[in-house]
Amino acid sequence: MRFENIRGSIVAMITPFHEDGSVNFEVLEELLERQIAAGTDGILTLGTTGEYPTMSHEEDAAVVAKTIEVVNGRVPVMVGSGSNCTATQIEKSIQYQDMGADALLLIAPYYNKANPEGMYRHFAETADKVHIPCILYNVPGRTGCSIPVSVVERLAQHPNIVGIKEASGDMSYAMKIAHCVGPDFAIYSGNDDITLPLLSIGGSGVISVFANVMPEACHRIVMDYLTGNHERALETHLRYLKLMNDLFLEVNPIPVKAAMNMMGLNVGPMRLPLCEMSEGNAAILRATLREAGLL
């Protein structure tokens, strides 16, 4: 399926594990079918929520292959191929493209960071090597650096860079991006709690953690807003705002996997250095899930 400025809810999929830590492909298939049945507009695999930093390259490829196989063209599949090594990012991007990915998510180079020119080349040289659309990923809370607005403006001119996942939570930054890019450059909220503000400045949707828990509601919030039913979109967004926030009581994806296990979805544990939630936070999350009618 071609990725053409997809509008709506793109779920940032968790990766389910067995108790021994191996990938649970049976549950992965069940989760993908659940998403598609609920109207999810796109699938992101190997994002931050998918715990890819603790997975081997072979596991990454196996998860991508299974995701593409199960989805089977019903919705677009975006794959996180980013790395703080540009050569590795290019290698993985070509690999996932050849496996059938519809789009790629490219994170800002973390730890080693970069100056603006290096940041530009990191993305542009990757986009030069593939023919499927590339989405920038700005998440300074994870990477220790933000993609400068001037760099986004330059990259938006690249024919193969079609959007940004904006996960800084900084609406001033998002406004500057919206001001300097054209109408064909998609802006996706990377923070569920500010999806509506991002949509109000021309955003195309959300790449969502919340959608793992409530895929239908997440899809409905975005599509209601985009089709002009702003009042209902706001009502639904506010109804589930506490749940969206409580999914970040601890570092993502600890709370969302805990929530899914509480709901009986059997997604298993995290891999170290991520571990189970504290008892206090787990109790808060359980109460919020109950209030939302999920338990």
Measure the CA–CA gap between 29 and 102, rounded to whole angstroms. Answer: 18
Q: How far is Cα 72 from Cα 68, in angstroms, rounded to an integer?
A: 6
137 a catalytic residue: yes
Q: Are strands 134-138 and 205-208 parallel, antiparallel or unpaired?
A: unpaired
- Specify the amino acid at residue 294: L
Q: What is the gyration radius of the CA atoms in the chain, in angstroms?
A: 18
CA dist 236 → 15, 134, 240 (Å): 27, 31, 6
CA angle 205, 194, 53 (to 5 degrees): 75
Buried b (16+ CB within 10 A) or exposed e, 243-264: bbebbbbbebbbbbbbbbebee
Can you give the three-state secondary structure of 55-73, one letter per residue? Answer: CCHHHHHHHHHHHHHHHCC
Omega prior to 273 cis, within 30 of 0: yes
Given 52, 96, 120, 137, the catalytic residue: 137
Return d(Cα 223, Cα 221) in angstroms, integer. Answer: 6
Catalytic one of 165, 188, 225, 257? 165
Write out the catalytic residue numbers.
137, 165
